[in-house]
Structure 1
Amino acid sequence: MKPSLLLLHGAIGAATQLQPLAAQLAAHYEVHLPEFPGHGGAPLPEQRFSIALFAEATLQYIRQHKLKEVTIFGYSMGGYVALYLARQYPDLISRVITLGTKFHWDETTAAREVKMLDADIIVQKVPAFADNLARLHAPNDWKTVLQRTAEMLLAMGKDNPLKPDEYKEISTPALIMLGDRDKMVTLEETVVAYRGIPGARMAVLPGTPHPIEQVNISLLTYFLQPAGMLTDV
């Protein structure tokens, strides 16, 4: 029986963005591609978007599918959710791998990120991106997804759900990755997380920007397949 691998997408993203990666890894894992509430056409929840909400949804997915010793790969916000969940349920997850996860949140950081979630500006300046968001989240209104995400980020800026002094409580083996051309996540915040999580490993991917569509899937697959993950992690 193949081991289970859960792929978690990023903020304002959807599981379909990770399908090319899932296809590459299908020979090694039983791959699962859940949607976070309100994303990818999944019903919008009554609750506000939050890391806790997404972690609970992931937990319920794991339990519903009776996954054991699951490896979780989280891209961007998905990595944050994975580590948040691993801190609470260390016996449920065998490994966590993150890529392009933003760990440092304060009010200034949140305000800067929220500026990039202005739906009107997106429509005016990058209409192709707006069209893509509309396709990703249909039948939901993509502007609602952006607004709820903005509210979540502002809340994270006021109270970071996973604080640096809590990294030491994560006992799950972790591989923390960052693209060398990532303009959203800093090397400094990534190193803080890597050094704070006991026994964690770190990798910097060459020629790799933040958007998952621009990541070299073959390179990422190497780190995610069992032989490429440094099995003694």
Structure 2
Amino acid sequence: MQPLLLLHGAIGSMDQLIPLRDELSTEFDVYSFNFPGHGGTEPFESFSMDAFAKATADFIKTHQLKNLPVFGYSMGGYVALYLESMYPSTFQKVITLGTKYEWSEEIAAKEIKMLRPDVIEQKLPAFAQQLANRHGAMEWKNVLDKTAAMLLGLGKHPLLSSAVLQKITCPTLVLLGEKDNMVSTEETQNAAAALVNGQYELLPNTAHPIEQISVSTLAEKIKDFCLRH
């Protein structure tokens, strides 16, 4: 079967993609992994798109994956396109969902307000417990702090400008949930338009959190784009 790589989002882990992996496993040989410092892996000194792109490239090389389509959720989509921009033909096709393409210092400052461990513990204790279960009781706060630092850096130096996206030639499906409050329609449509072979599609009644997305609907979109286009 054709291989397919799944990349998780910020402060997430590969375990969140298990339902999607299971849904796709009848058509693909599905691979996924945790970005450095995520999902209970060894603590990682600092987070960056370069580090995550390198980890992805290393995973592909280790598993000798060829003719590889990739699905990236949220930050995972950014990593996939960033890697493809640096090393063309890494991926046969790219599918992103809920990926934030527009970054500035103002946007980053707004985003990191949602990554304060003390506020999450106080106001969202159930979510704090989820993060502790996902990354480890002693490490989840560090994951949030390092993610915040990475986003501030991305705000100062965005990596996927229109000029960069225009250099990516592989077919790319850019998906956005209709009810996504974290990513705008405008930035998503602009990204799809900048890509040489970009295609934009809106998923009805779909919010940003991966747990709230219809797995069957998303799996069908991935299958259709990878196998029938």
Normalised by the length of structure 2, the TM-score is 0.97
CA distance in 2, matches of 1:91, 1:112: 34
1:176 aligned partner? 174
Mapped partners of 1:132, 1:223: distance in 2: 28
Match of 1:41 in 2: 40
1:165 and 1:213 map into 2 onto residues whose CA distance is 33
Task: Name 2:123's counterpart in structure 1.
Answer: 125
- Provide the C-alpha distance between the structure 2 equivalents of 1:231 and 1:28, rounded to a whole number of angstroms: 12
How far off its partner does 1:228 sit?
4.8
Q: Give 2:5's aligned residue.
A: 6
Name the structure 1 match of 2:153: 155
Deviation per residue, 1:3-32 (Å, 9 max, x gap): 111100000000000000000000011101
Is the Cα contact below 8 Å between 1:44 and 1:140 reproduced in 2?
no
Runs of 4+ in 1 over 4 A off after TM superposition: none
> Are 1:98 and 1:176, in contact at CA under 8 Å, matched by a contact in 2?
yes
> What is the identity, as a one-letter code, of the residue corresponding to 1:31?
V
**Contact 2:83 2:90 (8 Å CA) reproduced:** no
For residue 84 of structure 2, what is the aligned residue in structure 1? 86
For structure 2, the 5+ residue unaligned runs are: none
- Provide the identity percentage: 47
1:125–1:11 Cα change, 3 Å? same
1:78-127 deviation per Cα after TM superposition (whole angstroms, max 9, x unaligned)? 00000001112222210100000000000000000000001000000000
Equivalent pair of 1:38/1:140 in contact (CA under 8 Å): no
- Quick check: 2:93–2:226 contact (8 Å CA) kept in 1? no
Cα distance per residue 1:152-206 (max 9 Å; x no partner) = 0000000002212211000111000000000000000001100000021111000
Specify the alignment match of 2:54 in structure 1: 56
Partner of 1:93, secondary structure, is coil
Partner SS, residue 149 of structure 1: helix
Partner of 1:204: 202
Residue-pair matches, total: 229
Q: Distance in 2 between matches of 1:116 and 1:159?
A: 21
Q: Judge conservation of contact 2:47–2:150 (CA < 8 Å) in 1.
A: yes
Cα contact 1:95–1:172 (8 A) shared by 2? yes
Gapped regions of structure 1 (runs ≥ 5): none
Aligned-partner residue type, residue 83 of structure 2: L
